[in-house]
Structure 1
């Protein structure tokens, strides 16, 4: 083994400055994405299917408990995510996908998962949406394209044949699109609402449980926005009123019951609803034009943010703040942005989707600010070889630190990514066995005033 050189190293750069830097957010089932005001894309949480896009070893994708920058591009514009894959647009209108691809939901002509973003075609795109097995996007000319699983007619192309490349849905021009678990909703440029795919819970609001495989108009009203997930639908009419239908097992329809509805049902009488989002776990979020935030539905993991785990059957205001501007409901966690670009998160944190660096994840029952990362992991390169080995790495919890004879007696210190010391001990043999909980750690070895550090991932 080579002797360790005396190199001044800083264990961490300044990782967090403040929380006021975020522009756009998206929440997958157990992972999160955010675009900062500088156009950089940051990811954290579950990475089992490579939905973080960080290029991990194909056999050992590791979760991240802190936001990690994806690549070096500074022109990311918008993001969407599902249970197992992610989608993003750049400022130039190019479309990029990564993660699970068993249904062809990445749209690259294969069914092979991708651990880094892959560009899909050369078209110019404007809007995107994703569910567990599909991706949808609207081009700059207003045409709608969907790909992935088609067993329930989600693609709307008149067939039930799955496609692994973007497939056009009709010839109309579209304003927006929403993908539920197995149904699709779209608002055309004239404001009319259309639905297709599975309708087993009445989520297409057609008064029956029949599900067409081509776009079918829902009523004659005009609409400003629609959201869908977990076999239910939420929509805001042009007059600002809130309407829901479909599965209501956890009260996600917000009508005070747990009874499914196969027609759109108005929720309350307010006419100042502004934005909506709903999660795969059966919870829903909405903001009003006055900047207030409202939550309802399933709350087992605290995803409603009211400091309880009790489901709520009607929209209920969260706190008293009036500066909420955008929302994203994940599987059982929630992300929200304020008008000062602060990012807040609450709910389930089993995979680090809160982005707060906690090694031992636990649910957050109230909103918690997620500070801004100002750099990637702040380790400087150390120009020495084979100073010590960690194996296996990634580890399932139990691992070994191996050193040569000249490092016997060295001090080992383990830190988490917040710079907090987890433990320290002496290396009194050439192989030292240790156990850690799930997380990302830095192991520093010091002897005779010389230090070197390596990263350890525990899945």
Structure 2
């Protein structure tokens, strides 16, 4: 049975009469994150930050050890992921986390059901473990239950949950260790859906390939057929970036236009309707997009002018437009944000890094994942503190 990655995670801890707050004060009192943030990544209810010195820090939910600090204690303040340095990139999944070091090795921690961590076991890890037999990795993309790893050679390796064929190895068997995705070479980007049910890949020729669940048309191949090996998304050429949300996929063309396909119940395709589609449709303005990300049922885009735009579901304020419970079928400009250089979309929250190095976050904040020191949801971006 799949654990609900949307469930409320409540942790009660006591040791020698100390509650969670007391014990965390003993363990982490006086620890301050180093200056210079390079990257942020948002999971279901936790957030990771990669610092310029190569260390990883996190805050928010830690029920399965997804912060990697050796405990399962939630934290409203930044705590350091233990034993990691020289990290090049990070990724936050539903209930687990990963890092790729500059030497191309992959490290994982947190929830390990279905072999999500790829270490050959199904044992949760409260601190990072290295994946054996996997090297030369440039980046990883992780979902709720499976992972894709891209190598310098342009090949993809996958592991974890595979009931829908989302690992792309021609089977529907879960994999506790990495297996190669069948038939794809010259890959330059990968994206594992937040649902953990399907996967996307972008090749150097600008084509997009998809595999796994297709119940809402998320493979974009014009059918409802599931696929355990990659097939091309219809009609997409000259693509430079991709994003796989829960049940909808997106692609950015070189000309700055956005295309989307799959589920559209909340307007997450951004084309002014709520009609799902099995093939890509053009997203309405904005134009001039340089980066895109997919949350659970919402989408986030960064324009060349440094503004951020969102559309889709808004039940937790994740559109950042100053209102709750009002979804949008067209892109809306996120308030208070200018001069943004990078974006990151999580399940029900999102983040943006400005050119001055500050990080801003909005949406669900039940575990303190927005980093403003509270557990109050934000429908307008608030500054991520402690960096």
* TM-score, normalised with respect to structure 1: 0.74
Instruction: Give, in angstroms, the shift of residue 16 of structure 1.
Output: 8.2
Counterpart contact for 1:28–1:82, Cα < 8 Å: yes
Q: How many angstroms apart in 2 are the aligned matches of 1:13 and 1:357?
A: 16
Conserved in 1, the CA contact under 8 Å of 2:155 and 2:186?
A: yes
Distance, in Å, in 2 between the alignment partners of 1:139 and 1:94 is 10
* Alignment-derived partner of residue 378 in structure 2: 364
Aligned counterpart in structure 2 of residue 157 of structure 1, from 162, 169, 176 = 169
Question: Does residue 1:108 correspond to 2:123, yes or no?
Answer: no
The answer to whether the 8 A contact 1:254-1:267 is kept is: yes
Query: How big is the alpha-carbon RMSD for the aligned residues of Structure 1 and Structure 2?
Result: 2.0
2:178 maps to 166
Question: Which residue pairs with 2:351 in the alignment?
Answer: 335
Structure 1 residue 356, shift from structure 2 partner: 2.3
Change (3 A) 1:183 1:73: closer
The secondary structure found in structure 2 opposite 1:204 is coil
Structure 1 residue 271: deviation in Å? 4.3
- Tell me, yes or no, if structure 1 residue 145 matches structure 2 residue 157: yes
Q: CA deviation at 1:54?
A: 1.3
More relative contact order in 1 or in 2 (CA 8 Å, sep 6+)?
Answer: 1
Determine whether 1:296 maps to 2:311: yes
* Gapped regions of structure 1 (runs ≥ 5): 1-10, 374-459
C-alpha distance in 1, partners of 2:295/2:268? 9
Task: Calculate the TM-score normalised by the size of structure 2.
Answer: 0.87
> Any idea what SS the aligned residue of 2:229 has?
coil
Query: Partner of 1:90 in structure 2?
Result: 101
SS in 2 for 1:214: strand
Once the two structures are superposed, what CA deviation does each residue of 1:47-69 show, in whole Å capped at 9, x if it has no partner? 1111111111xxxx211111112
- The alpha-carbon deviation at position 89 of structure 1 amounts to 0.8
Q: Is the 8 A contact 1:43 1:67 kept in 2?
A: yes
Listed one character per residue, the Cα deviations across residues 350-403 of structure 1 (whole Å, up to 9, x for unaligned) are 111112222xx2211211111334xxxxxxxxxxxxxxxxxxxxxxxxxxxxxx
Count of residue pairs brought into register by the alignment: 355
Tell me, yes or no, if the aligned pair for 2:83 and 2:128 is still in contact at 8 Å.
no
Question: How far is 1:246 from its partner?
Answer: 0.8
Larger Rg belongs to: 1
Match for 2:225 among 205, 210, 222? 210
Q: Which runs of 5+ in 2 are unaligned?
A: 1-27
Name the SS for the 1:103 alignment partner: helix
Instruction: Name the SS of the counterpart of 1:328 in structure 2.
Output: strand
Corresponding position: 1:186 with 2:186: no
- Contact 2:70/2:82 (8 A) holds in 1: no
Post-superposition CA distance 1:304-325 (Å, at most 9, x none): 1112112111111123643111
Question: How far, CA to CA, are the matches of 1:304 and 1:369 in structure 2?
Answer: 16
**What is the 5 A alignment of 1:197-276?**
197-219=212-234, 221-268=237-284, 271-276=287-292
Distance apart, 1:37 and its partner CA? 2.1
